């Protein structure tokens, strides 16, 4: 294989967001530059829309993000002579929702604004700003429904190489240079940059929260450089991690948990962090409570012994988009569930048992209302296998209305669901499998807004490097799905090699996908001869999604040249006319030979699976009338 043309592609840096957690996610990135911004505002920022120009100098328009109120003004930018460099503004409480109150837009030549910010005197908002740099802002993202709830920016980053493989098909040959950040949306942005090799990390911890970190780097000239301390000074313990230079130890990834601090459900911070090197693991530092995050750990070296570690499969969520994210995973098994409920599910808390048979308790997720009941599970003889329930509107918010909990021995419930007659909720359930549920996640504030489960997946190897230090040497086998939270879950499983993908597209939305796989080492004979191939049986998956597409794109991989899938990228967001029904708007498929796509409209929130030393061998996701969400199964070489 060879390449014909090598060019440069501009990577993007995501900065923000500022504002609240209401509404649905939105996103817009101009192909080349932003030329117009339309702002509707009054007391607050009601809506935003954008116009840009693509690589062929053709004008393009975004959707309108937000509601229909406010007076409208338009900024016209003389691109490319003039370009956006920064924004600033304020956020404030508006009828119980935290939203973007006012905005200024800055270019290399002018300042535009203020827009919004006509709230009554005495209601002073919280200021924010994007640090000023001579790098162009080419897009925006955030959350919105009736107003602009939150806003952030996409700024041009350093160029990365693009290799053109064949005419009209290109592929980014690099993994992302910048991954994350994970955590809450408060605080000032910081970046140590690319100083050099990491020599030391100081982690400041107190009250189950990471208060600050500070790093020491070795620069290209061999001198040690100390970064600023990022965070506050309230820690009770300082942990110093010193990497072993003489043995060529280097950092390869991080994992951790973020979530609300005790007593403030809407102020999220990093609760715990662990650092992985090519030699082992340091941590965890802090309390492993909240939402789990991880950076891909790849190309790790060396081992002494191997054991088994249970991977987790994330299923769901069901419910609305209000409240703050929450998460709980038991170290070994869940023994107790405390449910407070009435008309709806008001709160949940959990007890579990760790690997040393010690009891552990979660935070209480949700509000203070409802009557309380407790389920006691006789673990390990009895274990959770499924949940079911309904979701419904409650005072203008879509929340979890009722719940049942299913084990291998019993069914517990119903809890909640005492809404007045005539208000029928939307049913949901976790497909029944004989795999244990060991955790839950979702969104909550005054009620349980949304819920999903962590189910045990297949065992994956863990390599023990030195006493007390272990490292997971594998990247995730199942990645995603990305998209909305509606539709039924589906999973093609690990059938074999992907031979063909049919993508059904219409009105700027991916309606469905259907795949053909080549089964490996199969001795079963198929009744339908058209599914039989020379090296194995061909298996056609179900079509995942609806039938309203106007175009079907067929991708046929070149078997004779050993072409295989390595990753996907795309965008998901609300469909036109329904800001709370999010689906896959666009998808692109990357192989070891090039790129197919994009199929659909590149509008909404960007997603991607890491392109690494492996291949995609299957898909999973959610679907109904549309392809609501998509993820991949990965096999590593």
C-alpha R_g of the chain = 25
**pTM for the full predicted model:** 0.36
Averaged pLDDT of the chain: 79
Write the CA distances from 261 to 49, 125, 271, 440, integer angstroms. 35, 22, 8, 18
Query: In sequence order, what are the residues at sequence separation of 6 or more whose Cβ sits closer than 8 angstroms to the Cβ of residue 191?
Result: none
Rounded to an integer, what distance in angstroms lies between the CA atom of residue 622 and that of residue 568?
16
Sort residue 77 into left (φ over 0), alpha (ψ -120 to 50) or beta.
beta
pLDDT value at 146 more than 90: no
Flag the least confident range among 77-91, 291-305, 519-533, 582-596.
519-533
Query: For the chain, what percent of residues have pLDDT higher than 90?
Result: 28
pLDDT value at 522 more than 60: no
Q: Are 366 and 448 in contact (CB under 8 A)?
A: yes
Q: Which helix (H) or strand (E) holds 548?
A: none
Residue range 12-55, pLDDT digits in tens: 788 888 998 887 788 888 888 999 999 999 999 999 999 998 77
pLDDT value at 163 more than 50: no
Query: In sequence order, what are the residues at sequence separation of 6 or more whose Cβ sits closer than 8 angstroms to the Cβ of residue 295?
Result: 179, 180, 253, 254, 255
SS (H, E, C) 244-255: CHHHCCCEEEEE
Query: For the chain, what percent of residues have pLDDT higher than 70?
Result: 81
Q: Are 388 and 430 in contact (CB under 8 A)?
A: yes
What's the pLDDT band for 305 if we cut at 50, 70, 90? very low
Q: Sort 10 into a burial class: Cβ within 10 Å, 0-12 / 13-18 / 19+.
A: middle
Give residue 309's pLDDT: 38
What's the pLDDT band for 172 if we cut at 50, 70, 90? very low
What's the pLDDT band for 511 if we cut at 50, 70, 90? very high
C-alpha closest to that of 446 among 374, 366, 376: 366
Of 412 and 162, which is predicted with more confidence? 412
Give residue 457's pLDDT: 66
pLDDT value at 463 more than 90: no
Mean pLDDT of 266-293: 79
What's the pLDDT band for 554 if we cut at 50, 70, 90? confident
Provide the total of helices (H) and of strands (E) in the chain, helices listed first.
0, 51
CA 602, 481, 9, 157 dihedral sign is positive
Structural domains in the chain, sorted by start:
12-156 (2.100.10.30), 198-294 (2.100.10.30), 311-457 (2.100.10.30), 477-521+535-636 (2.100.10.30)
Q: Are 144 and 23 in contact (CB under 8 A)?
A: yes
Rounded to an integer, what distance in angstroms lies between the CA atom of residue 273 and that of residue 334?
23
pLDDT value at 533 more than 80: no
C-alpha closest to that of 75 among 115, 44, 45: 115
Give residue 248's pLDDT: 66
Backbone angles phi, psi at 390, to 5 degrees: -135, 155
The alpha carbon of 569 is separated from its chain's Cα centroid by a whole number of angstroms, namely 13
Q: How many CA atoms lie within 13 A of 181 on its CB side?
A: 18
Write the CA distances from 503 to 271, 493, 607, 626, integer angstroms. 41, 19, 17, 11
Sort residue 185 into left (φ over 0), alpha (ψ -120 to 50) or beta.
alpha
Give residue 263's pLDDT: 63
What's the pLDDT band for 451 if we cut at 50, 70, 90? very high
Mean pLDDT highest for which of 9-13, 168-172, 417-421, 465-469? 417-421
612 by DSSP, 3-state: which?
coil
Q: Are 253 and 294 in contact (CB under 8 A)?
A: yes
Q: Are 87 and 130 in contact (CB under 8 A)?
A: yes
């Amino acid at each position: 294989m060879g390449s014909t043309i090598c060019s440069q592609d501009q990577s993007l840096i995501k900065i923000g967001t500022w504002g609240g957690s209401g509404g649905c996610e939105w996103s817009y990135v101009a192909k080349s530059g932003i030329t117009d911004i339309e702002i509707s505002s009054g007391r607050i920022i009601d809506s935003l829309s954008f116009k840009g120009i693509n690589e062929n100098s053709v004008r393009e328009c975004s959707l309108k993000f937000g509601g229909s109120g406010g007076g409208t003004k338009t900024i016209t930018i003389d691109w490319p002579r003039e370009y956006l460099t920064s924004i600033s503004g304020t956020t404030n409480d508006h009828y119980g929702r935290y939203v973007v109150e006012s905005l200024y837009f800055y270019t290399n030549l002018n300042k535009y604004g203020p827009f919004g910010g006509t709230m009554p005197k005495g209601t002073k908002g919280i200021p924010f700003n994007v640090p000023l740099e001579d790098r162009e802002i080419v897009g925006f993202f955030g959350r919105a429904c009736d107003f602009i709830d939150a806003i952030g920016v996409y700024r041009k980053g350093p160029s990365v190489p693009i290799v053109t493989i064949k005419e009209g098909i290109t592929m980014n040959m690099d993994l992302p240079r910048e991954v994350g950040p994970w955590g809450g949306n408060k605080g000032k942005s910081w970046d140590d940059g690319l100083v050099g090799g990491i020599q030391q990390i100081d982690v400041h911890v107190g009250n189950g929260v990471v208060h600050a970190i500070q790093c020491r780097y070795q620069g290209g000239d061999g001198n040690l450089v100390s970064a600023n301390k990022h965070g506050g000074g309230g820690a009770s313990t300082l942990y110093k991690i010193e990497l072993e230079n003489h043995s060529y130890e280097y950092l390869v990834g991080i994992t951790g948990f973020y979530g609300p601090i005790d007593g403030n459900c809407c102020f999220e911070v990093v609760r715990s962090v662990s650092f992985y090197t090519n030699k082992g693991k340091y941590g965890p530092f802090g309390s492993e409570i909240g939402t789990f995050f991880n950076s891909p750990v790849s190309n790790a070296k060396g081992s002494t012994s191997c054991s088994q570690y249970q991977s987790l499969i994330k299923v769901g969520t069901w419910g609305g988009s209000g409240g703050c994210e929450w998460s709980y995973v038991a170290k070994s098994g869940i023994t107790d569930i405390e449910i407070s409920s009435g008309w709806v599910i008001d709160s949940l808390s959990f007890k579990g048992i760790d690997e040393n048979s010690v009891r552990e308790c979660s935070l209480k997720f949700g509000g203070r209302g409802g009557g309380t009941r407790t389920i006691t599970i006789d673990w390990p003889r009895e274990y959770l296998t499924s949940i079911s329930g309904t979701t419904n509107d409650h005072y203008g918010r879509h929340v979890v209305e009722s719940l049942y909990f299913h084990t291998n021995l019993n069914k517990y419930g119903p809890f909640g669901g005492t809404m007045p007659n005539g208000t029928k909720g939307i049913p949901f359930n976790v497909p029944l499998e004989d795999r244990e549920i060991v955790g839950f996640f979702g969104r909550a504030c005054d009620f349980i807004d949304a819920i999903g489960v962590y189910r045990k997946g297949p065992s994956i190897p863990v390599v023990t490097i030195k006493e007390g230090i272990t490292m997971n040497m594998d990247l995730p086998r199942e990645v995603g799905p990305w998209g909305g939270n509606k539709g039924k879950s589906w999973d093609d499983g690990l059938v074999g090699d992907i031979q063909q993908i049919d993508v059904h597209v219409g009105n700027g939305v991916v309606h469905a996908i259907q795949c053909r796989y080549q089964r490996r080492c199969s001795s079963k004979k198929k009744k339908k001869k058209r599914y039989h191939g020379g090296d194995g049986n061909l298996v056609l998956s179900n079509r995942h999604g609806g039938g309203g597409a106007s175009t079907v794109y067929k991708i046929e991989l070149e078997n004779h040249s050993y072409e295989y899938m390595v990753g996907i990228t795309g965008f998901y967001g609300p469909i036109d006319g329904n800001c709370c029904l999010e689906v896959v708007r666009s998808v692109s498929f990357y192989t070891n030979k090039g790129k197919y796509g994009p199929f659909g409209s590149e509008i909404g929130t960007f997603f991607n699976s890491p392109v690494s030393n492996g291949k995609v061998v299957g898909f999973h996701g959610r679907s109904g009338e549309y392809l609501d969400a998509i993820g991949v199964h990965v096999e590593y070489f």
